[in-house]
Homo-oligomer: A and B are copies of this chain.
């Protein structure tokens, strides 16, 4: 069945590995009959600072309170055009794929800012103006899927479960769990390519082929089994004592 996929990407160089992955995504999805929406953050010259200019009709002109202004702007449809447009793309999408190089163990700032600005109060948090009632598996993006495609300069070993950088999945937890699962996405396991600085053409081709196979299962692959807030696993937002008793660490928030 034909679906709509939003691709959000952050790399200004058309011949970069990140962008060759973006091209592959567009091509593969179209071949499968899906519709593609794009947010080329560098190409759009995305405004990369969340500030007062994002609230053209302030409720308080003397003092900026981001949550209050975000709530007001979103609720009364007084957001800037660029933010509103991205929200519409998100609502239209059945899945969202993020393509970015790992910079200092996270997203490039321009993509972090896309989250900061587009994720309005009432939309991605404070959904239905109900505080934290709808989050972690429940929220505006429920039944949509999200997937990170990350280009990593360093070797895979450094990001392995006992690697010196910390495991990639845990380094990206603030993104996968905190920005994607939080507003309701089903988050697929991150797709990473390592050692991107030293990749030969033949290796890049192999990496693209592996990515193509991943994409073919975008709508039937199993999501990361993050625990849903409203599943009973948490009591007052703390993991219930009987689940992985006495354990700590980010891994306890997945039901694996």
Task: Find chain B residues with CB under 8 A from A250 CB.
Answer: 166-167, 170, 249-250
Contacting pair A116 B109 (CB below 8 A): yes
**Interface code A84-112, partner B: CB below 8 Å = 1, 0 otherwise?**
00000000000000000101111111101
Contacting pair B104 A248 (CB below 8 A): no
Contacting pair A52 B160 (CB below 8 A): no
In the bound complex, CA of A128 to CA of B167 (Å): 26
Min distance, Cβ A50 to any Cβ of chain B, angstroms: 7
Assess whether A210 is interfacial by the CB under 8 Å rule.
no
In the bound complex, CA of A178 to CA of B164 (Å): 10
Assess whether A173 is interfacial by the CB under 8 Å rule.
yes
Contacting pair A174 B237 (CB below 8 A): no
Assess whether A113 is interfacial by the CB under 8 Å rule.
yes
Assess whether A161 is interfacial by the CB under 8 Å rule.
yes
Assess whether A143 is interfacial by the CB under 8 Å rule.
no
Contacting pair A63 B197 (CB below 8 A): no
Query: What is the total number of copies of this protein in its complex?
Result: 2
Contacting pair B253 A164 (CB below 8 A): yes
Cross-chain contact of A51 among B42, B106, B238, B248 (Cβ < 8 A) = B42
Assess whether A64 is interfacial by the CB under 8 Å rule.
yes
Task: Find chain B residues with CB under 8 A from A116 CB.
Answer: 103-104, 108-109
Cross-chain contact of A157 among B163, B178, B236 (Cβ < 8 A) = B236
Min distance, Cβ A51 to any Cβ of chain B, angstroms: 6
Complex interface residues of chain A between 30 and 67 (CB less than 8 A to chain B): 42, 46, 48-52, 63-67
Of the A-B pairs whose beta carbons lie under 8 Å apart in the complex, a sample of 30, sorted by A's number, is A13-B65, A15-B63, A48-B48, A48-B49, A48-B113, A50-B103, A50-B109, A50-B110, A67-B153, A104-B116, A104-B119, A104-B179, A106-B106, A106-B112, A108-B112, A108-B116, A109-B113, A109-B115, A155-B237, A157-B237, A157-B238, A161-B248, A163-B237, A163-B238, A163-B239, A164-B237, A164-B238, A164-B239, A165-B178, A166-B173
